[in-house]
Amino acid sequence: MARKILLAVDLQHDFIHGSLPVPQSELVIPEINKVKKDFDLVYFTLDWHPLNHCSFKEQGGPWPVHCVHHTAGAALHPEALEGLEEERVRFILKGCVQGPEEYGAFVGFDPENQDLFAPGDEVVVCGIAAEYCVLETLKNLYEISKKIGFTVKVYLEGTARFESTATVEAFMAENGIQRY
């Protein structure tokens, strides 16, 4: 049976009020909360970095230290889980090893050996930040959808950005991906 799945990318403290804040990212939480009840499942991706992650400036990367595993900065925004039964929620960790950088949540994903997606599902992507982790997760998911046979959409109202959603919208247009 086809399911509706909301895939919320990186709704974490460091991206909202922490060391790498995305402008107006706190506004996506109420937008996501408006629609999450309409989904059978809600998947949350989480940056889950070791202290010496390759993306950190101290390691030669472009970003300040953020979302270090088991810290308050890596915590999911507390309102994101409100009203969700535990059996409807899954967490997908990314960036868990020192390198390489993984903006997308499904780098190295094996569509033959997984229990997240099934043929006929509708998966709606949203979250933080449009130009990086949302875009790369969308790209990963689109490739996986072609192998498994599910639909991908984007909820732009539930997506925060540093500057623009143009890269996400261009990818959507190029690949016939609809807005939710």
> Which residues are catalytic, by number?
10, 47, 49, 55, 66, 94, 101, 129, 133
DSSP 23: T
- 128 vs 12, 88, 160, CA distance in Å? 9, 21, 5
The 178-179 sheet, strands edge to edge: 89-94, 41-47, 4-9, 122-127, 151-159, 178-179
d(CA 88, CA 179): 23
Cβ 124 vs Cβ 155: under 8 Å: yes
